[in-house]
Amino acid sequence: MRCKITNEKINPFMSFGRMPIANGFINEKNFKKEFFFNLEVGFSKKISLFQLNNHPKPKQMFNQNYPFFSGSSKGMIKHFKNFSKWIKKKYGKNLKNLIDIGSNDGTFLNNFKNNKINVIGFEPSKNVAQVSKKRGIKTINKFFNYQNVKKFKSLKKKIDIISAANAICHIPNLKSLIKGLDYLLKDDGLFIFEEPYLGSMYEKTSYDQIYDEHIFMFSVSSIKKIFNLFGFELINAIPQKTHGGSMRYVVSRINKRKINQNVKKIIRFEKKKNVDNFEGCIKFKKNCEKSKEKLLMKIKKLKNKNKKIVGYAATSKSTTILNYCNIGKDSIDYICDTTKEKIGKYSPGKHIPIKSMNHFYNNPPDVAFLFAWNHKKEIFKKEKKFSQKGDWIAHVKL
């Protein structure tokens, strides 16, 4: 494989095996047509970039049937409110034009309503873009890349802030993305984005962060190195609790802004913890293998005791756990979820039925496998009744 940025040759160091589209919840009639690919990861030593080898084409994943809605988690709605407040407080003084990449159903941009800030979302998945449009948010139903961006000549060098959350790691052609940023951003404009953090994935062995949509797992070291290649620099990095550990990055053109001490501090931490080098990958691989073994043992023990296990939340991440560990219907009766687009369908690859929350309340299991472990606080709060009788398990520490 080759690094998607530097083109250097790299050897994939780990395969999670034959994998379907993580968000490809499927109807029974399509089981035979299901798409699979080999989910392999590699690491660019030059720019410390953890990345997938093969992956499906973006249009296979982001289309009119994208089943993830940012608004499906109360915790994330609250987070996006705070994120928008932070932006307004820190950079609001001269903020006129803001573009959000991967704006989804508009949960983040909705917080800029009633302000004198023009906001535009770039969102390629038509169904979620439509929800955002219905909320009155200007949404361009296109992939953010240089090709598409340069058609908007009136926006050239007019944008103060380009934001994104959990979207940049979804974009394989980062060079085209950065060219697009360069086209749109004012001379002193900022690119502010949050992504799942490689350091947190290593710490928790939360390998379920690895799936087709997550082409990259970023770290402060990698973001600094990537942007330096293209005339930009990382000026701040702030850890976030969301999605099991994320990082907020602030990037500007080179020599335009003061660099916050956080950057140096976190880079030092990453060196110490081997987040910026290949040693970290090898340790992670071993930890994944151990984690898989432990999980399979746990499930086997429960099944030997005739315990009924169901999945809680049909997350995209669960596709990696179920397929990598080869866990199917014989172990997990069904997966409950709040998303109406998923209910009635089957989980990608393993074809476990997706059921409504009512089904969960009417057919409670002995044990619930918490696939949305990143929303633990919110879920435990509302599932107190189940917790009185049933047990929770997960592949990570809860």
Task: Centre a 10 Å sphere on the Cβ of residue 301 and count the other Cβ atoms it contains.
Answer: 10
Select the residue interacting with ligand TMP from 6, 173, 260, 339 (CB under 6 A). 339
Nearer to ligand SAH, 67 or 365 (CB): 67
Which of 48, 51, 53, 72 touches ligand TMP (CB under 6 A)? 72
- Binding to ligand SAH by residue 165, rule CB under 6 A? yes
Our finding on whether 211 is near ligand SAH (CB under 6 A) is no
Q: Which does 316 bind (CB under 5 to 8 A by kind): ligand SAH, ligand TMP, none?
A: ligand TMP
Write out the two tokens for 198: 């490689």
315 binds ligand SAH (CB under 6 A): no
State the minimum distance, in angstroms, from the CB of residue 232 to ligand TMP: 29
HSE-up of residue 31 (Cα within 13 Å, Cβ side): 9
Taking the CA atoms of the chain, what radius of gyration do you get in angstroms?
21
The one among 26, 168, 374, 390 contacting ligand TMP by CB under 6 A: 374
- Contact between 315 and ligand TMP by CB under 6 A: the answer reads yes
Say which amino acid occupies 72.
Answer: S
Q: Which of ligand TMP, ligand SAH, none does 143 bind, CB closer than 5 to 8 A by kind?
A: ligand SAH
Paired tokens of 319: 């596709």
Task: Name the binder of 372 from ligand SAH, ligand TMP, none, CB < 5-8 A by kind.
Answer: ligand TMP
CB of 338 to ligand TMP, least distance (A): 4
123 binds, among ligand SAH, ligand TMP, none (CB under 5 to 8 A by kind): ligand SAH
Can you tell me which residue has the tokens 């095996």? 17
Contact 353, 334 (CB under 8 A): yes
Distance CA 332, CA 303 (A): 10
Site string for ligand SAH, 114-133 (x = CB under 6 A): --------xxxx--x-----
Among 4, 55, 133, 170, binds ligand SAH (CB under 6 A): 170
Q: Which is nearer to ligand TMP, 191 or 207 (CB)?
A: 207
Q: Give how many residues touch ligand SAH by CB under 6 A.
A: 22
Q: Which residues bind ligand TMP (CB under 6 A)?
A: 68, 72-73, 313-317, 337-339, 342, 372, 374-375, 378-379
Q: Which residues bind ligand SAH (CB under 6 A)?
A: 58, 62, 66, 68, 70, 76, 101-102, 104, 122-125, 128, 143-145, 165-167, 170-171
